[in-house]
Amino acid sequence: MKPGIEAVYIASHNFLHYEQARQSLLQDKLVLLEKHMTLHNEHAVELVRLAAEKEMSLEVSFHLRFRTAVELVRKMIHHGRLMCARRPEYLSAEDAGGLHFPSERLMTVEA
């Protein structure tokens, strides 16, 4: 990997995610993966462990804009029934082999 690169965005085929993310973390790169994080739960748990050990960010991109609940929240914001909606980001139990990793960061749902 080229020197000076601080982060990588992995949007390759799902079967490549684990090895590409693992190599990136081993080289101290911040990692953003498209979903699905990995094909196997044990690989997801290993990536989370490695990121924590190296104190590097490992994030999974999950787009909510077409989900029914998100559309309802947008309509409520638009009509003044809700001022701001937030939800904690987390690594799903499915992707983390049954583990739950809450984050301090919040995502704002925009109208």
- The yes-or-no verdict on residue 95 having pLDDT over 70 is no
Q: What is the pLDDT of residues 12-49, one digit of tens each?
A: 999 999 999 999 999 999 999 988 899 999 999 999 99
Domain ranges of the chain: 7-109
Of 84, 31, 82, give the one whose Cα is nearest residue 60.
Answer: 31
Q: What is the CA radius of gyration of the chain?
A: 16
Of 27, 22, 25, give the one whose Cα is nearest residue 3.
Answer: 27
pLDDT of amino acid 96: 47
Report the CATH number of the 7-109 domain.
3.40.50
Contacts 24+ apart (CB under 8 A), 12-18: 14/38, 14/39, 15/39, 18/43, 18/46, 18/47
Cross-strand partners of 8: 31
